[in-house]
Amino acid sequence: MDNREYIVVTGAAGFIGSDLAGYLNGKGYTDLILVDEFDRADKAPNLEGKKYSFQVERDSFFDWLAENRPRVGFVFHIGARTDTTEFDYSVHERLNVEYSKKIWTYCTANEVPLVYASSAATYGAGELGYDDRHDVIPSLRPLNAYGISKNEFDKWALQQSGQPPFWAGLKFFNVYGPNEYHKGRMASVIFHSFHQIRRDGEVKLFRSHRPDYKDGQQLRDFVYVKDVLRICYWLMEHRPASGIYNLGTGIARSFEDLVKATYGGLDLAANIRYIDMPEDIRDKYQYFTEANMQKLREAGYKENFFTLEEGVDDYVRNYLAKGAFYE
């Protein structure tokens, strides 16, 4: 192995991981080690045109590191099992907890800075709010196996005396944007709304099953993936205090607003129909999420975020309407 310094991106064939590889390319970084399961044909377009040095299968990654001993300068651990309808916790435990521990251990032993993906799913129904204070994390009650696995790793990371020289766990809120074509049911509401508009001329949204929320007024902190990429890069460049950070916009918006913005990107008037929520997710559904972004701001991140309307308009016009990928 040569003396070049590499950046590792796990989950590199997926939505955020492939966008991050493209963003790093745009910043001049092409010595990338991309890690994922690369056997899915529907993910292959996400990596077309990307520049990188190595593509390594997820399950053989640690053997590959031991054999090749690359000089790694930074790790973005974005890969995870993100399916919130996967109720078998052992799947999430293996991929989201145990695998992440191995990444952490490698970064600690080799003094490699680390940014990893946590999730706003760790906050559960929001009984304790959406503050990224470390003292709150052990008391959080996630609503599904995915959220539990993410919180278990956050708790574990905070207990470690051995740490990477810099690390940040990012609690992604509702991220949307290009390169989520492969995600099926787990793709963003914007993605599904766009295709419903094209197919049916209307968008179906879940009715509220709580009296304190009107239909379509369930609220989420929707964050455009381009803001996520900027923050990941900023953390690599500036390395503020290590810890767990929220990554949303700090402003909750309704699903109705989201769908109207999607129609706006197509220059059409909104047509929304409300349907019952599937029973398998009804008791695990978040009605409100809003990131407290004070910690990241105080760490020095000054950039403005895309508004919902700006982000959705860019996504619809420049990607979905063209079937285009982030490069």
Report residue 9 as tokens. 């991106």
281 alpha carbon, distance to own chain's centre: 20
Q: Which among 183, 284, 285, 301 is annotated as catalytic?
A: 183
Return d(Cα 122, Cα 141) in angstroms, integer: 7
The answer to whether 146 is a known catalytic residue is yes
DSSP letter at 117? E
Rounded to whole angstroms, the Cα distance separating 36 from 18 reads 10
Question: Which entry of 116, 146, 245, 319 is annotated as an active-site residue?
Answer: 146
Helices (H), the chain: 15-26, 61-68, 89-92, 99-109, 145-159, 189-200, 225-238, 255-265, 279-282, 294-299, 308-318
Give yes or no for a contact between 8 and 56, defined as CB atoms under 8 angstroms apart.
no
First vs last C-alpha separation in the chain: 28
The answer to whether 263 touches 137, Cβ cutoff 8 Å, is no
Q: Provide the token pair at 294.
A: 């004070």
Cα 81 → chain centroid: 11
Query: Could you give the count of Cα atoms lying within 13 Å of 282 in the half-sphere of its Cβ?
Result: 11
Q: Check if the beta carbon of residue 42 is closer than 8 Å to that of residue 30.
A: no
Assign residue 181 a region (left: φ > 0; alpha: ψ between -120 and 50; beta: otherwise). alpha
50 assigned to active site: no
> 203-206 and 174-176 as β-strands: parallel, antiparallel, unpaired?
unpaired
Long-range contacts of 317-323 (CB under 8 A, 24+ apart): 317/265, 319/177, 319/178, 320/178, 320/190, 320/191, 320/194, 320/265, 321/194, 321/265, 321/266
Active-site amino acid positions? 146, 183
